[in-house]
Amino acid sequence: MYKTLLMVYSWLLLIMGILGAIPGIGIGTEPIWHAVLKIILGLIGVLVTFRKEKS
């Protein structure tokens, strides 16, 4: 359950970061460092959810 929740939050964070980094989309304004940080954290979250656990 936690991996599914992390996956959903990570994808949302990634999408929000991409939309914030594109200047032509007027959904919201934010500094570029904030958008890049969202993209990085979203990618880390997605990679963690796809990683296999060692048993």
Q: What is the pLDDT of residues 1-55, one digit of tens each?
A: 788 899 999 999 999 999 888 877 766 677 889 999 999 999 999 999 988 765 4
Question: In this structure, is residue 18 part of a structural domain?
Answer: yes
Q: Can you give the residue range of the structural domain that contains 40?
A: 2-50
Question: In this structure, is residue 55 part of a structural domain?
Answer: no
The tokens describing 41, both together, are: 């954290």
| pLDDT of 55 | 45
Integer Cα distance of 21 and 23 in angstroms: 6
> Identity (one letter) of the amino acid at 6?
L
| pLDDT of 24 | 74
Integer Cα distance of 19 and 38 in angstroms: 10
Q: What is the pTM of this model?
A: 0.80
The tokens describing 26, both together, are: 């007027």
Of the candidates 38, 52, 51, the residue with the CA atom closest to the CA atom of residue 10: 38
Question: In this structure, is residue 19 part of a structural domain?
Answer: yes
Question: In this structure, is residue 25 part of a structural domain?
Answer: yes
Question: In this structure, is residue 15 part of a structural domain?
Answer: yes
Domain count for the chain, please give it: 1
Question: In this structure, is residue 45 part of a structural domain?
Answer: yes
Question: In this structure, is residue 24 part of a structural domain?
Answer: yes
